[in-house]
Structure 1
Amino acid sequence: MDHAGRHALVTGGGTGIGLDIARALAAAGAEVTITGRDLDRLKAVAAGTPRLHPLAMDVADEPSVRDGIAAAAGARGPIAICIANAGIAEGAPFHRETLDQWRRVMATNLDGVFLTFQGALATLGREDWGRMIVISSIAGLRGLKGASAYTASKHGVIGLIRALSEENMGSRITFNALCPGYVDTAIVSRNATEIAARQGMTEAEARAYMARGNRHKTLLQTDEVTGAAMWLCSEAARSVNGQTIQIAGGQVA
């Protein structure tokens, strides 16, 4: 797989799944813009990898996204590969969830994908090659108890890629969603700490509890999601469009 000469943009590219995908794309020859709110962290993870380019960008802030994508495209060309990965995972029982909490999740997980894809597509022509991939979740395919806003946001991005695949049918740009289960990242570690404190269990027990949310009862590793993303970015997946790919150890929906 050779992406030399192509420009990729990965939101939430400073940690976890986003960083792993960004490194794989850079290893395949792409110039990769990694975005996030913590510029110091982005600079630290990009150090020593010349094809990783840090950019401070908050996907929940429209001017930040519009200006950031324009700057990235101006520096490295049209965004041929866009990985909309930035997201937040917050949960609460529905009766206690506030409108501010709901809007915060939607602003990042759904509005952020809308802004990112719209900005990236504006850099491409109708005849250009492109891969637009959103990192959704198994919560985009079924409901998660105590996470109504998160579930709704992840269902929303799947609807978005399905609509965009139809709107751009016949072009060389594809739109797909990856739907991983629980992945062993900082988010899982943070949630394990919160679950342990709330439920009176150890963090190891909390991690095992989350692992049982995957069909094979094992936490996923980031390379499993990266492998699927790299396949979608390959020519072998040129006819895969508007799809949701489950990565959860078994059938989810």
Structure 2
Amino acid sequence: MRFQGQHAAVTGGGTGIGAAVARALAKEGAKLTLIGRRREPLEQLAVDLPEALVAPADVTVRSEIDNAFASARAAHGPITILVNNAGAAHSAPFARVTAESWRRAMAVNLDALLHCCQAALPDLLAASAGRIVTIASTAGLKGYAYTAPYVAAKHGAVGLTRALAAEFAKTSLTVNAVCPGFTDTDIVADSITTIAATTGRGRDDARAALTKFNPQGRLIDPVEVANAVVWLCQKESRSITGQTVAVAGGEI
């Protein structure tokens, strides 16, 4: 029970990678606060996680984050682990990207990190081993066609990770990012649907088009991403900060 007595807040915690991270941290004894826009998937997950608090909030709205974190502290005490997992990806040719779609991508994939990290910062700095882990993407390490806003936002997420790690290096807080490749989640399922609709390919062909980015020839399992998060959150990982851990089957 490596996280006994720890309080972990996980955004986008109801499905996919967020749900896998929540389960992994709870298995190791952490108390959980699950944050997301939709209450129903959060509540469905919480059924299997003892003492998990459901705190619906839009991560792009600072007042909602402040309220959710206040509820979290009231239930479980100071936050010692923050996992920034909420995100969204949409594809379009760059020439068709509108200012509104650009702004939406930045709001959920980058602005939300500002809101959550600032809201949790006093708790994290006071903790004996505060941890911030942001679920970025291989899109934060390289470029992909037709996803310019997402790629730009995830590069920003990686940059913020490195900046915070440098700023707080002399404290007990570490700040890292996990960068999954194409992972078997709803986001990838939506991408497969989009590819199939816009290219006329079947879903199997569309799935194969994404799978081929992984040299191992498969989609990443969310549990694999969760395992990397657990490793970074351990007290023994105190010397690992400002890093981007790619969970991508060798994709570069």
Q: Is TM-score (shorter-chain normalized) higher than 0.5? A: yes
- The question of 1:24 aligning with 2:24 is answered yes
The Cα of 1:51 is off from its aligned counterpart by: 3.0
Corresponding residue for residue 202 of structure 2: 202
CA contact (8 A) 1:23 1:52 kept: no
The Cα of 1:128 is off from its aligned counterpart by: 3.2
Q: Secondary structure at the match of 1:4?
A: coil
- TM-score with structure 1 setting the length: 0.96
CA distance in 2, matches of 1:124, 1:240: 16
The Cα of 1:24 is off from its aligned counterpart by: 0.8
Q: How does 1:182-221 map to 2 (within 5 A)?
A: 182-221=182-221
How many corresponding residue pairs? 252
Where does structure 2 lack aligned partners over 5 or more consecutive residues? none
CA contact (8 A) 2:215 2:249 kept: yes
CA contact (8 A) 1:158 1:244 kept: yes
Amino acid at match of 1:45: L
Q: How does 1:85-234 map to 2 (within 5 A)?
A: 85-126=85-126, 128-234=128-234
4+ residue stretches of structure 1 with deviation over 6 A?
Answer: none
The Cα of 1:234 is off from its aligned counterpart by: 1.3
The Cα of 1:127 is off from its aligned counterpart by: 5.9
CA contact (8 A) 2:6 2:80 kept: yes
- TM-score with structure 2 setting the length: 0.96
The Cα of 1:2 is off from its aligned counterpart by: 1.6
**Residue identity (%):** 43
Q: How does 1:235-246 map to 2 (within 5 A)?
A: 235-246=235-246
Where does structure 1 lack aligned partners over 5 or more consecutive residues? none
CA distance in 2, matches of 1:60, 1:170: 30
CA contact (8 A) 2:124 2:173 kept: no
The Cα of 1:60 is off from its aligned counterpart by: 0.7
CA contact (8 A) 2:32 2:53 kept: yes
CA distance in 2, matches of 1:133, 1:85: 8
Q: How does 1:241-252 map to 2 (within 5 A)?
A: 241-252=241-252
- RMSD value over aligned CA atoms? 1.2
CA distance in 1, matches of 2:235, 2:73: 23
The Cα of 1:245 is off from its aligned counterpart by: 0.7
